Structure 1
Amino acid sequence: MAGSGEMTGEKSEHTPELHHQHRDVSGGWLRPAVFGAMDGLVSNFALIAGIAGGKQDPKIVLLAGLAGLAAGAFSMAAGEYISVASQSELALAEIEIERLELARNPVAEQRELAGVFEARGVDPETAAEVARQLSRNPEGALEVHSKEELGVSPGDLPSPLLAAGSSFLSFAVGALLPVLPYLLGASTLWPAAAVAALGLFAAGALVSRVTTRAWWFGGSRQLLFGAAAAAITYGVGALIGTNGL
């Protein structure tokens, strides 16, 4: 048994450490998905509340909700695609400039890379050797230079299509929630308000799972902002409806 314990201890001492894995934070889907769902739910519920506040027929409220869903989803997708594509194109243009510099002035770029390592605390001799070895592979050197100088990697840019698709689907799902009661025959705003409130809290709590916030904080914060937006829009709709404008 003693020998077994010694072997176990020796094995654990020399067993490589199991490192944890990080979640993908650069894929380009989380921000548009979260923003799309929140925006769809808040904006469409606020739109419905404004129309309902004006004492409009439930069919008109339903039509407004469906129109808001379609218009918002396509608008969000188009906006995300253009913004992410433009950002990626700018990054690629800067990466191409770096590629040309590596081809024209390899020695200067190697010294620049060594300087980066030195600034991080590596001794000059080691920094120069690391920079020399990295510079032997042009594509590898380009990736290191791009990451250090631009903060991006050539093969790790966000996808415009992924961002647009995530934004479209998440907005549509969020915008559909307050419309569902009217699709099922509701004639007042209260069922839609209840569904929207649950959706807002659940969405905020769900987002907290990929952040450091507590679930109740994320849910309450989202519910508060969504309720405020809907209340203001309802008041505007009621005021306009009352005055017959």
Structure 2
Amino acid sequence: MADKSTDLEHSHEPEDVRDRLEGEHEHSYLGDAVLGAIDGAVTTFAVVSGVAGGGLAGGVAVLLGFANLLADGFSMAVSNYESTASTQQMVERRRRQEQRHIEHAPEGEREEIRQIFKRKGFEGDLLERIVDTITDDRELWINTMLSEEYGLQLEGPSPWKAAATTFVAFLVIGFLPLLPFLLTGLSPEQTFIGSAAVTGVTFLGIGLLKGYVTEEPLWRSGLTTLLAGGGAATLAYLTGSWLRQFVETI
């Protein structure tokens, strides 16, 4: 039989499998980058669309756009940090809880391990050996309870890295819709069209990159992101147009 291992993403030799499982797992921050990039572009272009729909000067778009970049970008980063940190705190709280239960009700905790692996199809002497093996190692015992009973991920991403990734992506991508406003010699209509074009290409590029990394169909990933961002921008433009009649009466 032909060896097809070269077609796979990694080797399944025993020593390679052992090294892979025992090594540190690298967490992907792609989701944080995509979230920050999309929200940055949407937020900034929403300001641009609202200003254009309201018939306001381009300088207002630049002023509000930069203010939103810093304020909303920082807010998103803080929110992402708190969310990631809260997950880690939940894991630690459950870990302390399981430590306390094992100390005060070890037989009950052994029975939980027994029931968990019984549901997986193990029984008899093999089931009891599994229970004995796991409960002989306190850390393994606790980790098994955390992952099997509560469904918790034991190794999570760094809250600081997640927050920083979101913030940088928000600032860099969110700045792009403002570029046409920094050019001279353009009419307000040309500036808005240029900003819309830059933003559309940005949305499409984010979607294509996401699709490439996650191995999704590129056209579907790109189109989905483009439509989502375009929908938010359209809503902002219509809102600005609708509010314009009220602004003019003030």
TM-score in same-fold range (> 0.5): yes
Q: CA deviation at 1:121?
A: 0.9
Q: Judging changes above 3 Å, is the alpha-carbon distance between structure 1 residues 153 and 140 closer, same or farther for their aligned structure 2 residues?
A: farther
Partner of 1:179: 178
Aligned partners of 1:117 and 1:232: how far apart in 2? 52
Q: CA deviation at 1:77?
A: 0.8
Partner of 1:96: 96
1:99–1:142 contact (8 Å) kept in structure 2: yes
Aligned partners of 2:28 and 2:101: how far apart in 1? 29
2:51–2:58 contact (8 Å) kept in structure 1: no
SS of structure 1 residue aligned to 2:152: coil
Partner of 1:170: 169
Counterpart residue identity of residue 182, structure 2: L
The list of structure 1 runs, each at least 4 consecutive aligned residues, that deviate by more than 4 angstroms after superposition, is: none
The aligned length equals 230
Partner of 2:203: 200
Aligned partners of 1:90 and 1:123: how far apart in 2? 32
Counterpart residue identity of residue 104, structure 1: H
Counterpart residue identity of residue 232, structure 1: L
Q: Judging changes above 3 Å, is the alpha-carbon distance between structure 1 residues 129 and 78 closer, same or farther for their aligned structure 2 residues?
A: same
Partner of 2:241: 238
Give the 5 Å matches for 1:52-91. 52-91=52-91
Which structure 2 segments of 5+ residues have no match? 4-11
Give % identity: 30
Q: CA deviation at 1:28?
A: 6.8
Partner of 2:9: none
Q: CA deviation at 1:50?
A: 0.8
Q: CA deviation at 1:242?
A: 4.6
Q: CA deviation at 1:113?
A: 0.9
Aligned partners of 2:237 and 2:104: how far apart in 1? 63
Partner of 2:7: none
Partner of 2:144: 144
Aligned partners of 1:120 and 1:26: how far apart in 2? 29
Q: Does 1:221 align with 2:224?
A: yes
1:201–1:222 contact (8 Å) kept in structure 2: yes
Counterpart residue identity of residue 98, structure 2: E
Q: Judging changes above 3 Å, is the alpha-carbon distance between structure 1 residues 158 and 230 closer, same or farther for their aligned structure 2 residues?
A: same
Aligned partners of 1:37 and 1:233: how far apart in 2? 18
Counterpart residue identity of residue 116, structure 2: V
Q: Does 1:47 align with 2:47?
A: yes
Summarize deviations over 1:59-102 as a string: whole Å, max 9, x none. Answer: 22111111111111111011112222223222311221011112
Aligned partners of 1:76 and 1:28: how far apart in 2? 18
SS of structure 2 residue aligned to 1:157: coil
1:110–1:135 contact (8 Å) kept in structure 2: yes
TM-score by length of 2: 0.81
Counterpart residue identity of residue 229, structure 1: A
Partner of 2:115: 115
Counterpart residue identity of residue 227, structure 1: G
What is the root-mean-square deviation of aligned Cα atoms in Å? 2.7
Counterpart residue identity of residue 31, structure 1: G
Q: CA deviation at 1:26?
A: 8.6
SS of structure 2 residue aligned to 1:177: helix
Counterpart residue identity of residue 165, structure 1: A
Aligned partners of 2:153 and 2:102: how far apart in 1? 15
Aligned partners of 1:139 and 1:169: how far apart in 2? 37
Counterpart residue identity of residue 163, structure 1: A
Counterpart residue identity of residue 74, structure 2: F
